[in-house]
Amino acid sequence: MPRFTRALLLFLLFIFLSSGRVYATCEITSSTSSIFPNSGGFIVNLKNTGSNPISWIKIPTNFSPILDLIPQTIVEAGWTQSTEYDYYTYSLGTLNPNEEVHLDSSGALLGAEEGPVDWTWQTAENSTGDSPDSCTIRLTAVNEVAPTISDIRLSIGNSSASLSWTTNYASIGTVSYGQTTSYGSTTTTSSGTSHSTTLSGLSASTLYHYLITVVGSGGTTSTVNTTFTTSAASVTTVTTTTVTVTTAAPPPIILKDTNSPKITLGTDLSKIFTEAPIITGKVSDEGSVNAGISQIDYSLDGGKNWLPVDFAVGIGKKTGTYEFTPGKLDDGNYLVKVRVKDLSGNTSSTKNHTMIIDRLPPQVGGAFFAIGPMILRPDQAGNIYTLAGLPLKIVLSAVGGPTSLDLFFDTTKTSLTKNPESGLWSGTLVINEAGSFKLKTHSVDGAKNNTDRYLSTIIVNSPGKITAKDTTTIPQAKIKVFAYEKNLNDYILWDGEPYLQQNPQHTDKDGTYKLILPAGKYYLEVESNSKQKQRTEIFETNSPTIINQSFSLTPAGFWGRWLSKTVSYLSPSASPTSTTNTLIGKPLPDFDLSSPNYSFSNTSLLGKPSVISFITSWEPSTSDQLLALDRFHISNTGVNVFAVTIQESVSKTDIFQKLGGNSVPLIADPDGILVAPLSLETLPTHLIVDRKGIIKEVIVGYLDQTNLLKKILN
């Protein structure tokens, strides 16, 4: 290709590429080219020197290790500011060709260095910042602490003296002088770094005091205070020795933002909600030092835990708004609090506002009974057995947002307390007389809805007695429990304190004692003054067992003082015969708790026999029960096997299943819709259902794989 043709093609290609778009250009100027410590605000002007309007500006706020964060505010209206890391971005405004926009810059602080700093901005014609142009301004960071006065020279005559010196920073110098330190005369020298002045009207052969004062452009001051003596001759010149004087730096002036931001809540939370509402409000931060909003958070528990709001307008500005919607909430009373933080770290918050979520009436779920770490299991009729006078801890779950929950037996009330972490309610129940007591709960929610529900029956047994041969009771008799310790292969005194019982213990004025022992191997010793000691045979228990055997002590006699008498251990009375559950023979109630992972409804179970176990994640034996269900589920594919968590969320149930690694399907019943229809008083409770959906058996308590198979086969 000829050289001329090649050059022509390249020229045409350049023209084509250049004609596709006219790039916007810009120019930056500032009201000052030097920045000193605490120099306050300065104005920066951005001019559009291009041919198209500018609609987007991006300004770095932390562009040098010498200069700290410099907040920016566009003075002209119409621009919207947003914050992105160390940048401010302005959009939705218009800067036409040859027009300027002015920015108010404040809070310039210096690092340990000084020197020139290039501040590069970006502009674009579109509001999204595509294909930006750059423009740069050079500022000089002057880390001036105080000007240094050096190289002082003095030429002395008999009636005048010439004085000169230099400074490292540009400054204005003043010389005050006199025959005393009152300095009657003053002379102002030139500004800059080289200074000179003449002191006139002096007396010959006289001592003069003089003071040099210099003020730097940053406002800092240095002084030199010394003396000289004029000459007696009319013409005598003396040149002083070069002197260097450096003054101490004055303490830095630190401007503090003492104005706390303000925040208001705009949403009315006084009414009752079925779901969390959209909550809005306003924030502001006034003052002249570092004013601006940096962060807005909210809390649903009165300030214990915080989350960022969903949407905030005005971050970095003096005024703004916020909006957030709490996620799906269970029924209950929530203490809503919102706080705001400004650029200086000052914070303010609203007062606590009570938000009531009420979807369901309050409803109590399954109950759990224990004496210390010893769990008391119900029998097949749902009865719990204990001793008169022993404290019994009760724990239960509830949904519907109850704000108070009371437990009753007869007319006696025990108020329960809610654990804010687990959401469970608990209290201590003490029944001092023997008998059968049906427990009832009364719960009230934030909307004043109230619900009563009956729980298990408490069978309270009379305590054991120690009497004399004539049946008179023996107070202060001592009874000891010895437990077999496998590691020692011996019997040692049982530690009853963790189980809220004393061992040894003395009988009261009625000769009674109170003992409930956990599973283990034991024997008892009973003794009293002048009575022969008695020791029971060794006995073994497989579950918590009431010990209320009565002992009749005989006079010791001569040999009885040293020898103990062995007596039989009498096991407690048999439990009452279980009554037939009213659910047996009836079909499952209508329900559908299906999830994306499992189909679970009263109709989906038809065609196969089913085992449905109702459990809760917080009950200690749940892991063992799920393991037994897993084994049964794996080896019996012809049976539907499901475990249902009562009054626990889907997410909590999913996490519990993943942590346990169980294969049996775990279904959540967060609202407890099956609690009332199936009269679920204690957990675990198991339903054996035939292929037609008819309930064949209701089993309360732990159920192993072997017994599960027996129940299905029967």
* Residue 561 and residue 486 share a domain: yes
Query: Are 572 and 460 within 8 A, CB to CB?
Result: no
| Residue 601 maps to a domain | no
* Residue 201 and residue 159 share a domain: yes
How many domains does the structure of the chain reveal? 6
Helix extents (H) in 611-695: 622-635, 650-660
| Residue 67 maps to a domain | yes
Q: Which residues are CB-neighbours of 123 under 8 A, at least 6 positions away?
A: 24, 26, 46, 48, 54, 56, 57, 58, 95, 132, 133, 134, 135
| Residue 330 maps to a domain | yes
Q: Please list the rounded mean pLDDT of every run of 10 residues in the chain (714 residues).
A: 50 42 68 64 82 87 62 69 76 85 64 69 85 84 72 84 84 88 83 87 87 77 83 60 46 63 93 92 85 92 92 91 91 92 90 90 88 87 89 91 90 91 90 92 89 90 91 93 94 94 94 94 93 93 92 82 86 61 90 90 93 90 89 90 92 87 91 90 89 91 81 74
| Residue 10 maps to a domain | no
pLDDT given at position 112: 44
Tell which of 141, 165, 180 closes a domain.
141
| Residue 1 maps to a domain | no
Indicate the length of the chain as a whole number: 714
* Residue 546 and residue 477 share a domain: yes
**What amino acid is encoded at 53 in this protein?**
P
Q: Would the pTM count as exceeding 0.75?
A: no
Tell which of 357, 382, 417 closes a domain.
357
* Residue 176 and residue 277 share a domain: no
pLDDT given at position 310: 94
Q: What does DSSP say about strands 80-84 and 87-95: parallel, antiparallel, or unpaired? A: antiparallel
Please report, in angstroms and rounded to a whole number, the separation of the first and last CA atoms in the chain: 101
**What amino acid is encoded at 709 in this protein?**
L
Token pair in block for residue 690: 């035939």
Q: Return the CATH number at 276.
A: 2.60.40.650
* Residue 349 and residue 288 share a domain: yes
* Residue 709 and residue 671 share a domain: yes
Tell which of 450, 482, 500 closes a domain.
450
Helical axes 622-635 vs 705-713, angle rounded to 10°: 50
* Residue 191 and residue 292 share a domain: no
User: How far is it, in rounded angstroms, from Cα 397 to Cα 426?
Assistant: 9
pLDDT given at position 24: 47
* Residue 346 and residue 375 share a domain: no
Give the CA distances from residue 335 to residues 338, 356, 418, 446, 533, in Å, rounded to whole numbers and listed in that order: 10, 9, 15, 12, 62
| Residue 84 maps to a domain | yes
* Residue 373 and residue 353 share a domain: no
| Residue 257 maps to a domain | no
* Residue 705 and residue 649 share a domain: yes
Q: Is 558 exposed, middle or buried (0-12, 13-18, 19+ CB in 10 A)?
A: exposed
Place of tokens 């959906």: 693
* Residue 133 and residue 33 share a domain: yes
pLDDT given at position 114: 65
Q: Which residues are CB-neighbours of 274 under 8 A, at least 6 positions away?
A: 357, 358, 359
Query: Are 197 and 189 within 8 A, CB to CB?
Result: yes
User: How far is it, in rounded angstroms, from Cα 275 to Cα 15?
Assistant: 64
Query: Would you give the DSSP letter of residue 110?
Result: B
Query: Are 667 and 645 within 8 A, CB to CB?
Result: yes
* Residue 126 and residue 33 share a domain: yes
Q: Return the CATH number at 73.
A: 2.60.40.740
Q: Return the CATH number at 164.
A: 2.60.40.10
Q: Return the CATH number at 668.
A: 3.40.30.10
Query: Are 117 and 141 within 8 A, CB to CB?
Result: yes
| Residue 588 maps to a domain | no
Q: Which residues are CB-neighbours of 708 under 8 A, at least 6 positions away?
A: 611, 628, 629, 632, 686
What range defines the domain where residue 180 resides?
A: 149-245
Q: Return the CATH number at 519.
A: 2.60.40.1120
User: How far is it, in rounded angstroms, from Cα 370 to Cα 374?
Assistant: 5
